[in-house]
Amino acid sequence: MKTLLLLAFFVGVTCGEEIKDLPGLDFEPNFKHYSGFFQVSDNHVLHYWFVESQNEPSNDPLIFWFNGGPGCSSLDGLLNEMGPYVANEDGKTLRENEYSWNKMASVVYIESPAGVGYSYATDGNITTNDDLTSLENYEAVKQFFTEFPQFRHHQTFIMGESYGGVYVPTLTARIVDGQKDFPINLKGMALGNGYVNEKLNIDTSVRFAYGHGLIDEKIWNTLERDCCRGCIDSCDLTQVTGHCATLVEDIFQFLWFGGLNPYDLYRDCDPNPSVNSKRMKHMLRGVAPAMAHFDELLKNQTKTSLYQFLKNKSQSQKPLKADVPCLNDTEMLSYMNNPKVRKAIHIPFNLGKWDICSDKVTTTYQKQYTDMTPFIKKIVKNHVRVLLYYGDTDMACNFMMGQQFSDQLGLRRTLKKTPWKYDRQIAGFKTLFDGLSFITIRGAGHMAPQWRAPQMYYAVQQFLNNHPL
């Protein structure tokens, strides 16, 4: 108890404290940055890292950013994707990011939920669900405006990626509902390769694999003939049973464990066998639950549909049997656990080691929503602009899911699929609806802001300014 009280004391002191000297920077920042904590419930405390705009912080838009998992840190966005400084391979230094989003907006990175990164629970209980996460994220947003009242009326945008596809719409809808009691100048929300519909993600993963040359034609024809009554285009692949489930099992096993990079079909996996790749494990538990349990499906009830089996299994969150070490997280781990860095960003000495993803959060997280349709409809209805952007080589949350999801919302289409350009080259394709824009980023995987930085900078800038691509 004494330790918990001491920890709470330190957190209270460091809330909203400016970062004066960040170790390893190879440039002199021309902006203010802060690191601190928000007490979002009796027992949960969320860590945040806030970078002011390099342009005109007194007027520029404000972005709240959330990475996914569930259970992975939003500092991945800061130090790997669109932050003003990104981690070098040595794990000791940071380099300047030419395409940092804080050149056009101030950005708040919130480590959510409690138990992720440097966020914690004073009683050790980090069990959470979609509703509680959105409630506590909303509390963090309100506390931010209390801590930094000068940003209270700035145009505000809620953004995230991956399982942020659940975090962001549920939070944005909560902000919409709370406008009378706590008005926010909410202008938009954006999702990058967002996990917006569980059934669509399963179904389109198989179709994505076939369309990218990963499935034998004989197997595809068998799926169509035996499992889809001769018409695979209108077939729901999440409802297959028996030997059809065996075919789908083989496809999924290859997508996740066959040596390909699920985050980007055309990006190599890191060859280092000892590389830290926690993000991959958490992706499998989060947006692709129970992929290691197909054998159990076949041994037990062959009349159970693939989707129902995965839905049941996602509740148990058993440890995975395999891993694909495609992403190297070691540089961030080294940097964030450097004692000098911890001191610079005001982390209490008795707070535990930072990790990019939390096993405990992911394995205990209770997913409540499998379809973001009601939330997106509410957001659009309340005149909050929505951007869904998808790197088109991502297999974890593929663009076909986002495309079909957008089309099925029932919004009036104002522009059919059309190329958009950056630097006189086709950068992707856009489809516009009333209140919602769906775009692809050509040649980008799951982390589009990291792997197609110039194109994404331009796309987000246009969205913030409410200008067309």
Considering the candidates 60, 282, 394, 437, report the single residue annotated as catalytic.
394
Token couple for 276: 């830290």
In the beta sheet, which residues pair with residue 421?
426
Is 394 an active-site residue? Answer: yes
- Positive/negative CA dihedral, 194, 463, 64, 442: positive
CA-to-CA distance for 58 and 106, rounded, in angstroms?
A: 9
Is 74 an active-site residue? Answer: no
Is 423 an active-site residue? Answer: no
Q: What residues contact 1, with CB distance under 8 A and at least 6 apart?
A: none
Alpha carbon distance, N-terminus to C-terminus of the chain: 55
Considering the candidates 33, 44, 47, 446, report the single residue annotated as catalytic.
446
CA-to-CA distance for 450 and 445, rounded, in angstroms?
A: 9
> How many CA atoms does the CB half-sphere of 37 hold within 13 Å?
27
Considering the candidates 162, 277, 305, 406, report the single residue annotated as catalytic.
162
Q: What residues contact 188, with CB distance under 8 A and at least 6 apart?
A: 157, 158, 384, 385, 386, 387, 463, 464
- Return the CA Rg of the chain: 22
> How many CA atoms does the CB half-sphere of 93 hold within 13 Å?
8
Active site members: 162, 394, 446
